[in-house]
Amino acid sequence: HHVQLQSEALKEWKQHIEPKKNDIESIKKDIVSHTLETLCRNPYNLDKMAVYQATAHAVRDRLLEDWNLTQEAIHQQNPKRCYYLSMEFLIGRALDNALHCLEVKDAYKQSVKDLGFSLEDLLEQERDAALGNGGLGRLAACYMDAAATLDYPTWGYGLRYQYGIFKQIINNEGYQTEVPDYWLNADGNPWEFPRSDIKYEVQFYGYVATKVNEKGESRMSWEGGDKVQAMAYDVPIPGYDTKGCGNIRLWSAKSLKTFDFASFNDGDYDRSVADQKNAENLTSVLYPNDNHNVGKELRLKQEYFFVSASLQDIIYRFKHTNAAWKEFPDKVAVQLNDTHPTLAIPELQRILVDIEGLEWDDAWDIVTRVFAFTNHTVLPEALECWSVPMMEKILPRHMQIVYDINLFFLQKFEKVFQNDRGLLNRVSIIEESNPQQVRMAYLAVVGSHTVNGVAALHSELIKTELFSEFIKYYGPEKFINITNGITPRRWLYQANPALRELITETLGSKKWVTHLDELKNLKKYAEDKSFQKKWIDVKLQNKTRLADWIKTHLDISVDPHALFDIQVKRIHEYKRQFMNILSVIYRYKNIQLLSAEERKELTPRVVIFGGKSAPGYYIAKMVIKLITTVAQVVNNDDSIDNLLKVVYIPDYNVSLAEIIVPASDISQHISTAGTEASGTSNMKFVLNGGLILGTVDGANIEIRDEIGEENIFMFGTLSDKVADIRHHQKYHGVPMDPNLQVVLHAIQAGEFGGFETASVFGPLINTLTYGGDYYLISADFEQYLDAHDKVDALFKDKTTWAKKSILCTAGMGFFSADRATREYADKIWNLKPFTIEKK
Ligand code: CRA
């Protein structure tokens, strides 16, 4: 680090800086001066992007006041801090969110209007910060919002990918194609602060030697290899109703001029220049897999780069307080968001033993009191494993340390469970395959003091299946549940202005925005006719907003009075979008058979899909193709009297979710029981008064318990029955549901896209037949269709529907990210809020 200078004069002058003002005249001046000075644009040379940028800079100045206050307060109070390590932060747009959190949106709207622009237009200029795949990354963003709002001294750490999750294009043939998301385009990103003074070196490759340290002790030392530089970028995270402001520190890889030519490149100059470019590749792209692990070398390097830089930064800050190492766990909590940052465990152990000279056991005691681990999935294909030879090459010292961690763990384990070789093999951090693999989830369990699942059922499955052998040793207390939560700021206050106003007016205050339990006071209006009318009107407004979007962007006309049935999430076999579209085909064929009289009785439906498939996930891509093909046929069939429309919304992302979520009558969360750890969009839809059609899985179960089982449509095989059915189907074939059979025949007969297209769907259909129907689509199909019938019937009864919808919103207090974050702080981090003024 560079020399830190102190200036008394600067300290003195700091007192004279006037706080920014929020009146319209001041805001206009701020925007204009940013236009002229920050952007060097003039009134003859403006566009919406420039005015957006100027407005964003004006808002960010206000955020920064809070940011600086916060850092000062935390510095002075020196509380225990928590660091949330996550390879993904799916933030979305920042401007609208900041305007709402600072409660200056109206003033800005007027100011921008006075200057000749529309704020809504400007908001549309912003690119999403899409540094995540799906639920896991969005969860991290929601928790940062909550931590900032609750004044927890919590920072996020992540990677500053130059390319976020790809942009999805649905081509003319109805297939997904991918376009890179270069979100840090030439316009620049006003929401990040480059910290050129905060840089660390990160090492790769090399070898391990023994060295004698200052105390004369012999220690291992990691020598040679490659070095890459990590530079910090800070992203301020506004809190609501507080002067506090949170932070996510993202690392960007830069090449180092001081390259280790001697030991690695051996004077090979041109190669070393090429390697410098390679250094920057480290943080160029987010891996676009959701719930799927690929085991690529570059990914391992990203993970280590991330944890190395973050730990160096955390330790630098800790050392600044002159505390002794044994106090580290009292000052620092680190949460590992899934196994992606698990290398932090051997990395901290390495720093403490090799560099700081602590004894192994003392170091290990510190490590295991600092880290806690959140597991987000039980799907085997998602569990990270790294091949031992790869780790040995890239991180030779860490591999040794992992072996030692494993050895000491197994030795202790063996004392308790003697003479059970099989058991030792099953709990070993090293899998004895060829090549051997490091089981990262096991390493995370052994190196953490607490392991949590993300919904009640999921946390049970962790104990009974994933980590069942570990319970025998650690006891059950180490494994806890913290059900996921979502931020009510973005997902109701910001995304649903009409409902926000109705709720605030009805409850008489905005307390609900930070105390979501207050929503329960809506229950008493559930049967109030005039309230129901307003409630229904809000929903209609939001459906109209979405219908307009669909008309403008996709040129499909949908009737806002029809039932909006929505499934938006990553495309995955376990999420069963396939089952959904098969039921749509069933509905379509049924409508064709109905008489004019019968058709009058049917509820018109708009079935909306959205979501990205991993680029290499063939079956998921076929599901998209099937949906778009069915949409083509159905939407162009004039004979069905607009009773059915099918819409595929391309490039589903956070910004689109903000328009889609408030517009659902029904949303579908229909994973095979036991596969969806929690789901979080289920919470968003219900919070906005949408009913759920779902399976008995993930957080659906707790949503049911909170809102009442009469207010949710649930169906399907229970999780404890799934394994038996799979086993049976594997050996005795899949009993094909008769209605499903009809649907599959229709596809095979070329009713959707002709014979040539039908052959494209062959492999997809085979997953149900020869493939053994692993996700139980056939087994659940009848119950699924029955549930749809119930939805249709109930939708005709507007009053009952409105009542249920109100009770949905009213029952969602528990699912606030504030509650979840408090649980982490109380049960895992032992963290208290710091003191700062309220707004
Ligand atoms: N894919 C789960 O599948 C869960 C989120 C956040 C997931 C979701 O059910 O809501 O995490 N798991 O807890 C995951 O990413 C690596 O595992 C997800 O987003």
Please list, in sequence order, all residues whose beta carbon lies within 8 angstroms of the beta carbon of residue 427, skipping any fewer than 6 positions away: 409, 410, 413, 442, 469, 470, 473
Other residues' Cβ atoms within 10 Å of the Cβ of residue 630: 25
Give yes or no: 319 in active site: no
Q: Enter the ipTM.
A: 0.99
Q: Could you list the beta-strand ranges (E) of 596-744.
A: 605-610, 644-649, 666-669, 691-695, 713-715
Q: Are 127 and 468 in contact (CB under 8 A)?
A: no
In the predicted structure, residue 131 carries a pLDDT above the cut 60: yes
Spatial separation of the C-alpha atoms in residues 508 and 522, rounded to whole Å: 11
Helices then strands, counting H and E runs in the chain, come out as 34, 24
Other residues' Cβ atoms within 10 Å of the Cβ of residue 330: 12
Q: What is the dihedral of CA 309, 313, 315, 319, to 10 degrees?
A: 150
Q: What is the pLDDT of residue 45?
A: 84
Spatial separation of the C-alpha atoms in residues 254 and 392, rounded to whole Å: 24
Residue pLDDT, tens place only, 222-268: 999 999 999 999 999 999 999 999 999 999 999 986 555 555 566 66
Mutate to test the pocket of ligand 1, among 165, 652, 678 (most ligand atoms within 8 A of CB): 678
Residue pLDDT, tens place only, 328-337: 999 999 999 9
Q: What is the pLDDT of residue 446?
A: 98
In terms of CATH, what superfamily is 488-719+782-805? Glycogen Phosphorylase B; (3.40.50.2000)
Q: What is the pLDDT of residue 138?
A: 99
> Over pLDDT 70: what percentage of the chain?
97
Categorize the per-residue pLDDT at 6 as very low, low, confident or very high, splitting at 50, 70 and 90.
confident
Spatial separation of the C-alpha atoms in residues 344 and 85, rounded to whole Å: 9
Buried b (16+ CB within 10 A) or exposed e, 501-529: ebbeebeeebebbbebebbbbbeebbebe
Q: What is the pLDDT of residue 763?
A: 98
- In the set 34, 57, 60, 575, the catalytic residue is 575
Residue pLDDT, tens place only, 500-539: 999 999 999 999 999 999 999 999 999 999 999 999 999 9
- Mean pLDDT confidence for 95-107: 98
Atom of ligand 1 nearest to the CA of 139: 6
Spatial separation of the C-alpha atoms in residues 579 and 582, rounded to whole Å: 5
Q: Which of 157, 137, 161, 386 is nearest to 282 (CA)?
A: 161
Atom of ligand 1 nearest to the CA of 134: 19
Residue 87 Cα to ligand 1 midpoint, Å, equals 13
Planar angle of CA 489, 492, 493, nearest 5 degrees: 55
Reading the block at residue 3, the tokens are 């020399």
Q: Are 520 and 512 in contact (CB under 8 A)?
A: no
Q: Which of 649, 671, 691 is nearest to 578 (CA)?
A: 671
Give yes or no: 680 in active site: yes
- In the set 680, 695, 717, 809, the catalytic residue is 680
Query: Quick check: helix, strand or coil at residue 231?
Result: strand
Spatial separation of the C-alpha atoms in residues 686 and 661, rounded to whole Å: 9
Q: What is the pLDDT of residue 659?
A: 98
| Rg (alpha carbons) of the chain, rounded to whole number | 28
Residue pLDDT, tens place only, 637-656: 999 999 999 999 999 999 99
Buried b (16+ CB within 10 A) or exposed e, 604-614: bbbbbbbbbbb
Residue 669 Cα to ligand 1 midpoint, Å, equals 13
Pocket lined around ligand 1, Cβ cut-off 6 Å: 134-136, 139, 290-291, 338, 376-377, 382, 454, 484, 676-680, 698
Residue 672 Cα to ligand 1 midpoint, Å, equals 14
- Mean pLDDT confidence for 450-458: 99
Spatial separation of the C-alpha atoms in residues 671 and 683, rounded to whole Å: 15
Residue 457 Cα to ligand 1 midpoint, Å, equals 14
Give the CATH class of 78-93+128-483+825-829: alpha beta
Strand partners, 607: 565, 646
Sheet holding 193-204, edge to edge: 193-204, 226-238, 245-254, 154-159, 81-85, 332-337, 371-374, 450-453, 479-481
- 70, 83, 148, 451, 454 from 152: Cα distances, Å: 10, 11, 6, 21, 21
- 675, 767, 778 from 733: Cα distances, Å: 22, 12, 11
Q: Could you list the beta-strand ranges (E) of 338-478.
A: 371-374, 385-387, 430-431, 437-439, 450-453
Residue pLDDT, tens place only, 344-384: 999 999 999 999 999 999 999 999 999 999 999 999 999 99
Q: What is the pLDDT of residue 273?
A: 67
Spatial separation of the C-alpha atoms in residues 509 and 530, rounded to whole Å: 20
Q: Half-sphere exposure of 677 toward its Cβ, with a 13 Å CA cutoff?
A: 26
Which residue's entry shows tokens 């139980």?
A: 776
Give yes or no: 415 in active site: no
Continuous segment of H or E residues that includes residue 601: helix 596-601
Q: Which of 177, 50, 57 is nearest to 122 (CA)?
A: 50
- In the set 28, 41, 62, 376, the catalytic residue is 376
Q: What is the pLDDT of residue 148?
A: 98
Give yes or no: 376 in active site: yes
CATH 3.40.50.2000 domain span(s) along the chain? 78-93+128-483+825-829, 488-719+782-805
DSSP per-residue letters across 376-414:
----GGGS-EEEHHHHHHH-HHHHHHHHHHHHHHHHHHH
Q: Which of 310, 383, 319, 377 is nearest to 343 (CA)?
A: 310
Residue pLDDT, tens place only, 184-219: 988 889 999 999 999 999 999 999 999 998 888 899
Give yes or no: 35 in active site: no
Residue 290 Cα to ligand 1 midpoint, Å, equals 8
Going by alpha carbons, the residue nearest to atom 14 of ligand 1 is: 376
Q: What is the pLDDT of residue 281?
A: 94
Which residue's entry shows tokens 């709402």?
A: 100
Q: What is the pLDDT of residue 837?
A: 84
- In the set 34, 93, 463, 684, the catalytic residue is 684
Q: How many residues does the chain have?
A: 839
- Cα of 766 vs its chain's centroid, Å: 32
Continuous segment of H or E residues that includes residue 130: strand 129-131
Categorize the per-residue pLDDT at 838 as very low, low, confident or very high, splitting at 50, 70 and 90.
confident
Reading the block at residue 662, the tokens are 């408030």
Atom of ligand 1 nearest to the CA of 484: 13
Categorize the per-residue pLDDT at 4 as very low, low, confident or very high, splitting at 50, 70 and 90.
confident
The rounded mean pLDDT for the chain is 96
In the predicted structure, residue 631 carries a pLDDT above the cut 60: yes
Spatial separation of the C-alpha atoms in residues 78 and 62, rounded to whole Å: 24
Ramachandran region, residue 40 (left: φ > 0; alpha: ψ -120 to 50; beta: rest): left
Going by alpha carbons, the residue nearest to atom 16 of ligand 1 is: 291
- Cα of 299 vs its chain's centroid, Å: 18
Alpha helices in 78-186 (DSSP H): 95-101, 105-114, 119-123, 135-149
Say which range, 2-16, 540-554, 726-740, has the weakest mean pLDDT.
2-16
In the predicted structure, residue 1 carries a pLDDT above the cut 90: no
- Mean pLDDT confidence for 544-559: 98
Other residues' Cβ atoms within 10 Å of the Cβ of residue 247: 19
In the predicted structure, residue 59 carries a pLDDT above the cut 70: yes
Spatial separation of the C-alpha atoms in residues 107 and 827, rounded to whole Å: 41
Strand partners, 170: 176
Helix, strand, coil percentages, rounded to 5, for the chain: 55, 15, 30
- Cα of 530 vs its chain's centroid, Å: 38
In the predicted structure, residue 735 carries a pLDDT above the cut 70: yes
Spatial separation of the C-alpha atoms in residues 445 and 375, rounded to whole Å: 10
Strands 437-439 and 385-387, by their bridges, are antiparallel
In the predicted structure, residue 757 carries a pLDDT above the cut 90: yes
Reading the block at residue 437, the tokens are 């693999």
Spatial separation of the C-alpha atoms in residues 372 and 334, rounded to whole Å: 6
Alpha helices in 606-650 (DSSP H): 618-635
Q: What is the pLDDT of residue 278?
A: 82
Query: Quick check: helix, strand or coil at residue 196?
Result: strand
Atom of ligand 1 nearest to the CA of 680: 10
Spatial separation of the C-alpha atoms in residues 565 and 643, rounded to whole Å: 13
